[in-house]
Structure 1
Amino acid sequence: MTIIADSLQAIQANIHAALTAAGRKDNVQLLAVSKAQSADKLRNAYLAGQRAFGENYVQEAINKQQQLSDLNIEWHFIGPIQSNKTQLIAQHFDWVHSVDRLKIAERLSNARSPSLPPLNVCIQINSSEEATKSGASLAETIALANAINTMPNLILRGLMAIPAPANDYATQCAQFKIVHTAFKNLQQQGFAIDTLSIGMSEDYVAAIHEGATIVRIGSALFGARSIPA
């Protein structure tokens, strides 16, 4: 537990320093990416103060949710969404960051029980326009956002993106700026969004500089994966 607690404290300090350097007065939420991490590691992170966890694989996440049902965890789904998994995702998560097409949004809304709070969703955009990467194109984003706003069991919270990897800070910032511009454009179009989910272990400082409100941190917090991928 001490290693995870120390890592969590260090990351939070880095987030605070990045906010200060960017001249920002708001906060950034740390989302602990717990894909392929054991339930014991998640419990240790929770005991150290972490409350929001992001998972990529539905059944792995549900298994951990059952093991950790005594904890008040906010569960985020952040992986690619297969159509046949939408019902489970809609039933077992508080947030979905990776809505990238109309069909998925419709299925999530239809599968979300009215007895549950509306599902918080982000549109995943393919800001780098990579052929192998999931995400709506920048041109498709407004139409998809309009459609989601009509769905009774979803709340559109913002955008998520995973830009192409870059080693230098300037390139990271330039890529995140594209996503932030798309986010501001939606706000200017009248969408009441507040979430920009960008930045991971290798580039979250640049993401914070460019307006991230959620950073998704896995390896820097948990270390090596403890469940085979």
Structure 2
Amino acid sequence: MISIAENLEKAATRIRSAAEEAGRDPSGVQLLAVSKTKPAELLREAANAGQKAFGENYIQEALDKIEALSDLPGLEWHFIGPLQSNKTRPVAEHFSWVHSIDRAKVARRLSEQRPEGMAPLNLCIQVNIDDEPTKSGVRPEEVPGLAQELSGLEGCRLRGLMAIPDPANPAAVQRERFRELAGLLAEVRRGVDNGALDTLSMGMSGDLEAAIAEGATIVRLGTALFGPRDYEAQ
């Protein structure tokens, strides 16, 4: 059986070691548990072991888990998958973060649909850092303009950038892509001064060390915590 608590501890050790190796404070790197396709029981086990932030790709699956785990205090839900403009309302109503913004229209709808009394929805622009034709996200040169469009939304707050470098790239190229994303965030900061551009959502189970070395503030781990995607609790 997979021990979620043990895997969380191993992940925390990897994050701490990578941060210290890079001369960074480990508390500046958040672990986001990518829980798509995993049953609510595994998420509950992770929450009981101290994990609070969970990343989901599919809206209905996520809503079912949010309801199933509604008795647990302090959970933070991140939407990390592609988001269609006609499906924004449940995300605006139930999530704290969206990492996959690639159009101003989607962000505007999220802002308009964010319920009054809730904190602004945190947004990251997804960047297609490798210019892959089959991958979501905007081209790097489009990021500053989109950031300007998002900066004035009342119901949302632009927090940073997200990317998923091609895992087939050599390690040195992956590291270069992370460095490029960090440089892009610095460029966005020069054009948008909202006081909250502090987030680089990058790095997964196979490359978190390289991502942290280049400034990641959120690493998204699924396999390292829950096992292969087709794993089912016994």
Identity of aligned residues (%): 52
Q: Kindly provide the CA deviation profile for residues 94-122 of structure 1, in whole angstroms up to 9, marking residues without a partner as x.
A: 11000111111111111111221110111
Following the alignment from structure 2 to structure 1, what is the Cα–Cα distance between the partners of residues 61 and 156? Answer: 24
Which amino acid is 1:151 matched to? L
Following the alignment from structure 1 to structure 2, what is the Cα–Cα distance between the partners of residues 128 and 168? Answer: 13
The equivalences for 1:58-137 within 5 A come to: 58-71=59-72, 72-137=74-139
Following the alignment from structure 2 to structure 1, what is the Cα–Cα distance between the partners of residues 61 and 115? Answer: 22
Following the alignment from structure 1 to structure 2, what is the Cα–Cα distance between the partners of residues 184 and 20? Answer: 22
Q: Look up the match of 2:20.
A: 20
Q: Look up the match of 2:8.
A: 8
Tell whether the 8 Å contact from 2:208 to 2:219 is kept in structure 1 after alignment: yes
Bigger Cα displacement from structure 2, 6-15 vs 181-190: 181-190
Q: Look up the match of 2:228.
A: 224
Which amino acid is 2:111 matched to? S
- Report deviation, 1:15: 0.4
Matched length? 227
Q: Look up the match of 2:32.
A: 31
Q: Kindly provide the CA deviation profile for residues 128-148 of structure 1, in whole angstroms up to 9, marking residues without a partner as x.
A: 111111111112111111111
Following the alignment from structure 1 to structure 2, what is the Cα–Cα distance between the partners of residues 155 and 167? Answer: 32
Which amino acid is 1:29 matched to? Q
Which amino acid is 1:93 matched to? F
Unaligned runs of 5+ in 1: none
Q: Give the match's secondary structure for 1:196.
A: strand
Q: Give the match's secondary structure for 1:174.
A: helix
Tell me whether 1:140 sits opposite 2:142 in the alignment. yes
Q: Look up the match of 2:203.
A: 199
Tell whether the 8 Å contact from 2:147 to 2:192 is kept in structure 1 after alignment: no
Which amino acid is 1:195 matched to? T
Following the alignment from structure 1 to structure 2, what is the Cα–Cα distance between the partners of residues 184 and 117? Answer: 25
Q: Give the match's secondary structure for 1:19.
A: helix
Q: Give the match's secondary structure for 1:53.
A: strand
How much is the aligned-residue C-alpha RMSD, in angstroms? 1.5
Bigger Cα displacement from structure 2, 11-20 vs 105-114: 105-114
Q: Look up the match of 2:212.
A: 208
Tell whether the 8 Å contact from 2:2 to 2:226 is kept in structure 1 after alignment: no
Bigger Cα displacement from structure 2, 150-159 vs 168-177: 168-177
- Report deviation, 1:211: 0.5
Which amino acid is 1:217 matched to? L
Unaligned runs of 5+ in 2: none
Q: Kindly provide the CA deviation profile for residues 31-72 of structure 1, in whole angstroms up to 9, marking residues without a partner as x.
A: 000000010000000011100000000000000001000112
- Report deviation, 1:224: 2.9
Which amino acid is 2:226 matched to? F
- Report deviation, 1:171: 1.9
